[in-house]
Amino acid sequence: MKVGNCMTRNVQVANPEQSIREVAQIMGKLDAGVMPVGDHDRLVGMITDRDIAIRGVALGKGPDTKVRDVMSPEVKYCFDDEDVEHVLENMGDLQVRRLPVLNRDKRLVGIISLGDLATSSEAAEAGEALSDISKPGGEHSQTAH
């Protein structure tokens, strides 16, 4: 199965100049825990509700703090025409639960999550990826920053 067959489409993009309060409100309305961050048609980062809590609130930053100050600037992504099995393996290796999905023109076309994959026919592979993701530490650990 290809990523494009099971990803979430119509992803809202945050701007690095938006406040974390505004992005948190949008996340609440969308019932989403992550948003890609774009600047002038380029994907420049990702922001999660956890980034807001740990890199923002826990460090004493206020609600008017800019997204760029708490986002993860390193963007890992996959392509919509990639095989799900390959992407799941990468998610496990990277210890991430979600990846933005780009087309081959490097335009954002969606986001893929373990939840998307677990509800598709790839449930067993999603379980393996979750096992790898759930190991302590890793490059994307909040305590590593």
In a domain, 141, yes or no: no
Query: Domain range for residue 82?
Result: 3-134
**H/E run at residue 124:** helix 123-133
Q: Kind of pairing, strands 42-48 and 34-39?
A: antiparallel
Task: Let me know if 29 is exposed, middle or buried by CB neighbors in 10 A (0-12, 13-18, 19+).
Answer: exposed
Residue 116 confidence (pLDDT) = 80
- Percent of the chain whose predicted confidence (pLDDT) is above 70: 82
Task: Count the domains in the chain.
Answer: 1
Using pLDDT thresholds of 50, 70 and 90, give the confidence band for residue 124.
low
Look up the CATH number of the domain holding residue 18. Answer: 3.10.580.10
In a domain, 117, yes or no: yes
In a domain, 144, yes or no: no
Place of tokens 């990277």: 94
In a domain, 143, yes or no: no
- pLDDT by residue (tens digit) across 24-48? 999 999 999 999 999 987 899 999 9
In a domain, 120, yes or no: yes
In a domain, 145, yes or no: no
Q: In what order do the strands lie in the sheet with 78-79?
A: 78-79, 98-102, 108-113
In a domain, 43, yes or no: yes
Dump the DSSP string for 52-81: IIIIIGGGT--TT-BGGGTSB-----EETT
